[in-house]
């Protein structure tokens, strides 16, 4: 298959970026999207041009390191798929493909398609944990957890922290990410003691990091490669309201 | 050099307890005066960094990704073992210990493995308390499954994302300590070298991958939790960034490398699709619990899977190993797959002359359990398979083939997880200690967390007290010298200005080691690899092309530096494989097999750990041997029939 790529190139945070066209010819349909970029990069090196910088690591859809906006969609147009799991068979021969970094005030561009998502770590640092010291835990069976709660907590915990929810939201809101962590703990008995402090602290850190508010567009849920549900945002908002009454 | 494993005296089940009592404690008021560098933020690194910080030490944690949550432990799918015996099916600490030593084909240290089994239960308790959403039964208690090679159900799991959930648990513990100001994180920072002063590890030199800045960091101890070296094969199930630089640089500074030829091939990976392939994807081996593995009986079969009648299928694992069937250990399952494919009975597209794939069929399980149950167990794996291959495993059997997945070898450590260099500790996959020649499924997560949460935090304190609190700062001449050498190397890589990309060399190296030091190894092939690798290395240093500069984000520069280390590491791995003329676990020497084609150990000549000492590029390394004695698990020929 042959493609024309229009790739965002930007030398650094203080440089102006621009879309640069590249030809990607002779790509097999079984090639993964990032492997297609590998091939383009190898050809650029041959020609003596600097390769395109992009983040990636596990290439099996779980580390959350990769992610670009492809044809206007974070992680590309396939639902429930990270960019590394997207394969070229989902495109048509001759397509023009636009590749841009995740864009948000809280995610400044580092170079080309690489952005800084350190704000996510800051949100977790503000309370995305259960305070338990190594060695102090009771037996794992001391507290039974209803299966449906465990499953629901797992639905929330499946978040890979890639930032696609932020990139796809018109407000660049991080509420899906934040609410997933809050809900995971909120659904489990172990998370109850710190539940109200957690939601207050994480939400205020999220707001200070420069993310926007949620106005129920639903783009985050639609684009999330792990299909994390927007219901968790409602849950977080309810917890936040209850916390203000405590 | 005499290798002292420092295994405590006394009965097996009392060794760790009595050792913990005998180890010296650091006065609580003094703990903050000791600093620890932790390299790597996976299960081992993050759990160690968090726990050391809880104890009061000053901790700095370095990792090459943008967040500690990205470390490759996250990709582990199947589960984590513990000897809880919640299923009442006869499990015990001793059974977990015994299975692990036997599964490792009697090439692990008994005392280490017993301790691992002992602390396994505390890991589950701790992770549940952290909020890890393990799978549960309707009564609210934890669910277990049986996992490759085990006849008891001792594996705890969180859907097909157990590694992710355990890592996020360790990450949350780490971030709690960041919030408390006890851990400082260094994201996008790569360790380039180890600094050793008067025989003691005193710090590291790093490169910040965005600014290119080289920095020296001094501490009272350095902990490497940097994972395995599977990417020496280029194609593996490791993340693209996984590399051997930290352990290799430590090796060059004097740390011994143990059993590098012990590499694990995982039987259930998605087959290679073509030359563009950049990595291989694992399908959790838990799939073997419900899937049946088969190939057509006749060679060059052209019919689709569903058109081949039962009578013309060969369920070769069930046929050859009636007792364990599809659940034989990984090395046995992998070799059996290679055998049938080499016979010309493989399935899927041709790669070269052969079809390298076998069927993993769920048809029986769908009938027995129904689609709902299977989707609950493996739904995300079916989805992943479809994303990659474009095929739906509900309708047609999966195709799988073995791939490099884990490396049992690593830096040599004693019972305290300290290398032969005082002050250098090595944890998780980066050390060699617990899995012998083959790791059992669901044991990697257990070992990473055992080392980080429950072993290292005790043993490191004893080192601080016994070694004394003498400080060496980054103003020491050795830091300056190591930093200058690191700078020189970066400039050298950029200055070659040849024609070939780092990836092209990496692929070339990977093909050589996979062909000659992969699933089957023999004298002639290994000697060929030993001749080839230095040639590739010479060409690398003459014809490498790295564009761009040192002071920006330069991903090809990072890659080049890692490939340079793999080119040296590979030679040692091949040398080790050549020296060990027996077969054991994942190391299969074709010269040493039983009449049935199983790995044949040579306990008389090879019941030892091979620990290699660096002597220079291209120079023959020196072999040191740590004898292995088996007092509680008598070595036997493994049989899964």
Partner-chain contact A153 B133, CB within 8 Å: yes
Partner-chain contact A60 B457, CB within 8 Å: no
Confidence of residue B148 (pLDDT cuts 50, 70, 90): low
Compute the distance between CA of residue B4 and CA of residue B420 in angstroms, rounded to an integer.
Answer: 9
Q: Which residue has the tokens 């600094």?
A: B195
Compute the distance between CA of residue A142 and CA of residue A189 in angstroms, rounded to an integer.
Answer: 11
- Give me the pLDDT at residue B353, please: 84
Q: How far is CA B97 from the centre of its chain?
A: 19
Compute the distance between CA of residue B358 and CA of residue B346 in angstroms, rounded to an integer.
Answer: 6
Partner-chain contact B278 A45, CB within 8 Å: no
**Do A3-110 and A117-245 have matching folds?**
no
- A59-84 b/e (C-beta count within 10 Å ≥ 16 → b): bbbbbbbbbbbbeebbbbebebbbbb
Report CA-CA distances (Å) from B370 to B290, B364, B377. Answer: 12, 9, 11
Three-state SS for B240?
coil
Q: Assess contact for A33 and A89: CB atoms under 8 A.
A: no
From chain B, pick out residues whose CB is under 8 angstroms from the CB of A45. Answer: 501, 545, 547, 556
Q: What is the mean pLDDT of chain B?
A: 95
Nearest to B387 among A45, A87, A127 (CB): A87
Compute the distance between CA of residue B245 and CA of residue B205 in angstroms, rounded to an integer.
Answer: 12
- The DSSP 8-state label assigned to residue A87 in this structure reads B
> pLDDT > 70: what percent of chain B?
100
Partner-chain contact B138 A154, CB within 8 Å: no
Chain A nearest CA to B177, separation (Å): 8
Give the pLDDT confidence of A25-44 residue by residue, as tens digits.
Answer: 999 999 999 999 999 999 99
Report CA-CA distances (Å) from B85 to B125, B286, B386, B405, B508. Answer: 13, 19, 36, 28, 47
Q: Which residue has the tokens 């490398």?
A: B257
Nearest to B569 by CA among B264, B248, B265, B230: B248
Q: Is A234 exposed, middle or buried (0-12, 13-18, 19+ CB in 10 A)?
A: middle
A12 has pLDDT over 80: yes
Compute the distance between CA of residue B211 and CA of residue B309 in angstroms, rounded to an integer.
Answer: 61
Nearest to A176 by CA among A203, A197, A208, A201: A203
Give the pLDDT confidence of B134-145 residue by residue, as tens digits.
Answer: 999 999 999 998
Q: Assess contact for A113 and A54: CB atoms under 8 A.
A: yes
Helices B110-130 and B162-179, axial angle in degrees (round to 10):
70
Chain B segment 233-272 residues within 8 A of A by beta carbon are: 237, 239-241
Does any CB of chain A come closer than 8 Å to the CB of residue B112? Answer: no
pLDDT (average), residues A72-99: 97
From chain A, pick out residues whose CB is under 8 angstroms from the CB of B175. Answer: 121, 124-125, 128-129
Chain B segment 407-436 residues within 8 A of A by beta carbon are: none
- Give me the pLDDT at residue B149, please: 63
Give the pLDDT confidence of A97-149 residue by residue, as tens digits.
Answer: 999 999 999 999 999 999 999 999 999 999 999 999 999 999 999 999 999 99
- Give me the pLDDT at residue B2, please: 82
The residue in chain B having the minimum alpha-carbon distance to the alpha carbon of residue A45 is B501
Does any CB of chain B come closer than 8 Å to the CB of residue A47? Answer: no
DSSP conformation letters of B259-291: -TT-EEEEEEEPPP-STT-----B--TTHHHH-
Chain A segment 128-167 residues within 8 A of B by beta carbon are: 128-141, 143-147, 150-151, 153-154, 157-158, 160-161
From chain B, pick out residues whose CB is under 8 angstroms from the CB of A154. Answer: 133, 135, 158-159, 165
Give which of A132, A145, A228 to mutate to test B binding, by max B Cβ within 10 Å.
A132
The catalytic residues of B are 330
Give the pLDDT confidence of B571-592 residue by residue, as tens digits.
Answer: 999 999 999 999 999 999 999 9
Nearest to A134 among B65, B133, B453 (CB): B453
Query: What ipTM score was computed for the predicted complex, to two decimals?
Result: 0.98
Compute the distance between CA of residue B44 and CA of residue B69 in angstroms, rounded to an integer.
Answer: 12
Partner-chain contact A60 B75, CB within 8 Å: yes
Compute the distance between CA of residue B181 and CA of residue B275 in angstroms, rounded to an integer.
Answer: 48
Say how many CB pairs under 8 Å bridge A and B. Answer: 219
Q: Which residue has the tokens 């690191």?
A: B486
Q: Which residue has the tokens 């069976």?
A: A141
Phi–psi pair at B565, nearest 5 degrees: -70, -40
Chain A nearest CA to B127, separation (Å): 8
- How many Cα atoms within 13 Å fall on the side-chain side of residue B637? 13
Nearest to A146 among B65, B140, B185 (CB): B140
Report CA-CA distances (Å) from A38 to B43, B147, B549, B550. Answer: 29, 36, 20, 21
Give the pLDDT confidence of B194-214 residue by residue, as tens digits.
Answer: 999 999 999 999 999 999 999
Three-state SS for B434?
coil
B331 has pLDDT over 90: no
Give the pLDDT confidence of B156-188 residue by residue, as tens digits.
Answer: 999 889 999 999 999 999 999 999 999 999 999
Nearest to B401 by CA among B538, B324, B252, B295: B295
Domains of chain B by start residue, with CATH:
267-405 (3.90.700.10), 477-608 (1.20.58.100)
B530 has pLDDT over 70: yes
pLDDT (average), residues B435-441: 93
Class level of CATH domain A3-110: alpha beta
Among the four given CATH numbers 1.10.1050.10, 1.20.58.1610, 2.40.50.140, 1.10.1060.10, the one describing domain A117-245: 1.10.1060.10
Q: Assess contact for B270 and B283: CB atoms under 8 A.
A: yes
From chain A, pick out residues whose CB is under 8 angstroms from the CB of B241. Answer: 57
Compute the distance between CA of residue B63 and CA of residue B59 in angstroms, rounded to an integer.
Answer: 13
Q: Point out the least confidently predicted range of A142-146, B501-505, B633-637.
A: B633-637
Nearest to A157 by CA among B178, B122, B134, B50: B134
From chain A, pick out residues whose CB is under 8 angstroms from the CB of B237. Answer: 60
Compute the distance between CA of residue B47 and CA of residue B45 in angstroms, rounded to an integer.
Answer: 6
B637 has pLDDT over 80: no
Chain B segment 454-513 residues within 8 A of A by beta carbon are: 454, 457, 499, 501, 503-504
Does any CB of chain B come closer than 8 Å to the CB of residue A182? Answer: no
* Structure tokens, B107: 């090439």
From chain B, pick out residues whose CB is under 8 angstroms from the CB of A151. Answer: 133
What kind and span of H or E run contains A230? none
Partner-chain contact B276 A28, CB within 8 Å: yes
B100 has pLDDT over 70: yes
Does any CB of chain B come closer than 8 Å to the CB of residue A30? Answer: yes
From chain B, pick out residues whose CB is under 8 angstroms from the CB of A30. Answer: 273-274, 276, 389-390
> pLDDT > 90: what percent of chain A?
100
- Per domain, the residue ranges of chain A are 3-110, 117-245
Q: Which residue has the tokens 């129904």?
A: B370
From chain A, pick out residues whose CB is under 8 angstroms from the CB of B74. Answer: 58, 62-63
Compute the distance between CA of residue A228 and CA of residue A179 in angstroms, rounded to an integer.
Answer: 10
Nearest to A188 among B122, B131, B278 (CB): B131
Nearest to B225 by CA among B62, B443, B433: B62
- Give me the pLDDT at residue B78, please: 83
């Amino acid at each position: 298959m042959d493609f024309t790529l229009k790739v965002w190139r930007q030398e650094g945070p203080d440089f102006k970026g621009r879309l640069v066209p590249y030809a990607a010819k002779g790509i097999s349909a079984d090639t993964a999207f990032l492997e297609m970029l590998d091939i383009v990069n190898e050809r650029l090196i041959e020609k003596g041009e600097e390769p395109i910088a992009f983040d990636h690591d596990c290439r099996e859809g779980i580390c959350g390191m990769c992610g670009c906006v492809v044809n206007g969609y974070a992680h590309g147009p396939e639902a429930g798929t990270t960019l590394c799991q997207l394969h070229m068979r989902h495109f048509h021969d001759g397509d023009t493909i636009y590749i841009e970094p995740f864009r948000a005030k809280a995610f400044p561009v580092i170079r080309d398609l690489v952005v800084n998502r350190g704000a996510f770590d800051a949100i977790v640092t503000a309370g995305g944990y259960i305070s338990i010291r190594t060695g102090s835990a009771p037996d794992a069976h001391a507290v039974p957890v209803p299966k449906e709660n465990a499953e629901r907590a797992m639905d929330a915990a499946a978040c890979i922290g890639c930032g696609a929810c932020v990139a796809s939201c018109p407000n660049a809101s991080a509420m899906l990410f934040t609410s997933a962590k809050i809900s995971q703990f909120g659904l489990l008995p172990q998370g109850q003691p710190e539940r109200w402090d957690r939601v207050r602290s994480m939400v205020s850190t999220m707001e200070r990091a420069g993310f926007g508010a949620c106005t129920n567009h639903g783009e985050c849920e639609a684009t999330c490669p792990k299909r994390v549900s927007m219901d968790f945002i409602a849950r977080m908002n309810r917890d936040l309201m209850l916390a203000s009454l405590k | 050099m005499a290798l002292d494993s420092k295994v405590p005296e006394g009965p097996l089940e009392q060794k760790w307890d009595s050792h913990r009592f005998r180890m010296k404690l650091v006065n609580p008021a003094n703990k903050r005066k000791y600093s620890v560098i932790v390299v790597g933020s996976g299960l081992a690194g993050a759990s160690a960094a968090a726990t050391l910080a809880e104890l009061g030490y000053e901790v700095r944690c370095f990792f090459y990704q943008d967040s500690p949550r990205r470390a490759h432990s996250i990709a582990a799918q199947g589960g984590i073992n513990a000897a809880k015996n919640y299923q009442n099916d006869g499990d015990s600490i001793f059974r977990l210990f015994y299975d692990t030593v036997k599964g490792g084909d009697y090439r692990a240290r008994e005392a280490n493995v017993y301790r691992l089994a002992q602390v396994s239960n505390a890991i589950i308790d701790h992770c549940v308390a952290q909020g890890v959403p393990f799978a549960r039964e309707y009564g609210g208690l934890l669910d277990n499954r049986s996992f490759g090679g085990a006849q008891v159900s001792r594996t705890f799991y969180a859907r097909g994302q157990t590694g992710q959930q355990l890592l996020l648990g360790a990450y949350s513990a780490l971030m709690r300590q960041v919030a408390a100001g006890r851990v400082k994180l260094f994201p996008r920072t790569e360790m380039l070298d180890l600094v050793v002063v008067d025989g003691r590890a005193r710090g590291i030199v790093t490169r910040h991958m965005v600014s290119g800045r080289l920095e020296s960091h001094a501490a009272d101890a350095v902990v490497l939790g940097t994972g395995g070296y599977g990417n020496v094969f280029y194609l593996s199930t490791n993340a693209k960034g996984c590399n051997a630089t930290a352990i290799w640089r430590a090796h060059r500074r004097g740390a011994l490398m143990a059993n590098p030829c012990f590499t694990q091939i995982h039987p259930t990976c998605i087959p290679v699709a073509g030359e563009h392939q950049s990595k291989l994807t694992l399908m959790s081996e838990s799939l073997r619990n419900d899937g049946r593995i088969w190939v057509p009986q006749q060679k060059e079969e052209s019919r689709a899977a569903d058109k081949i009648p039962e009578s013309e299928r060969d369920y070769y694992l069930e046929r050859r190993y009636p007792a364990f069937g599809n659940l034989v250990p990984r090395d046995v399952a992998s070799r059996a797959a290679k055998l049938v494919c080499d016979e010309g009975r493989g399935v899927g597209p041709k790669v070269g002359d052969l079809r390298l794939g076998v069927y993993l069929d769920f048809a029986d399980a769908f009938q027995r359990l129904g689609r709902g149950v299977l989707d609950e167990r493996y739904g995300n794996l079916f989805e992943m398979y479809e994303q990659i291959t474009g095929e739906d495993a509900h309708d047609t059997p999966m195709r799988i083939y073995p791939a490099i997945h884990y490396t049992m070898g690593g830096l040599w450590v004693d019972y305290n997880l300290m290398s032969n260099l005082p002050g250098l500790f090595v944890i998780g996959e980066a050390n060699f200690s617990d899995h012998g020649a083959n790791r059992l499924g669901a044991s990697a997560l257990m070992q990473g967390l055992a080392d980080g949460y429950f072993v290292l935090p005790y043993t490191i304190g004893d080192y601080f007290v016994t070694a004394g609190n003498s400080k060496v700062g980054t103003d020491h001449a050795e830091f300056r010298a190591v930093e200058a050498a690191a700078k020189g190397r970066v400039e050298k890589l950029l200055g070659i200005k040849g024609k070939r990309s780092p990836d092209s060399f990496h692929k070339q190296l990977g093909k050589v080691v996979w062909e000659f030091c992969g699933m089957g190894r023999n004298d002639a092939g290994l000697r060929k690899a030993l001749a080839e690798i230095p040639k590739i290395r010479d060409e690398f240093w003459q014809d490498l092309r790295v564009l761009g500069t040192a002071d920006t984000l330069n991903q090809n520069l990072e890659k080049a530096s890692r490939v340079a280390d793999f080119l040296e590491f590979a030679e040692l791995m091949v040398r080790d494989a050549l020296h060990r003329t027996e077969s054991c676990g994942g190391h299969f020497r074709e010269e040493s097999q039983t009449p049935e084609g199983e790995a044949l150990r040579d306990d008389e000549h090879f019941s030892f750990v091979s620990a290699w000492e660096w002597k220079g590029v291209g120079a023959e390394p020196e072999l040191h041997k740590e004898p292995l004695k088996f007092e509680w698990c008598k070595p036997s020929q493994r049989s899964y029939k």
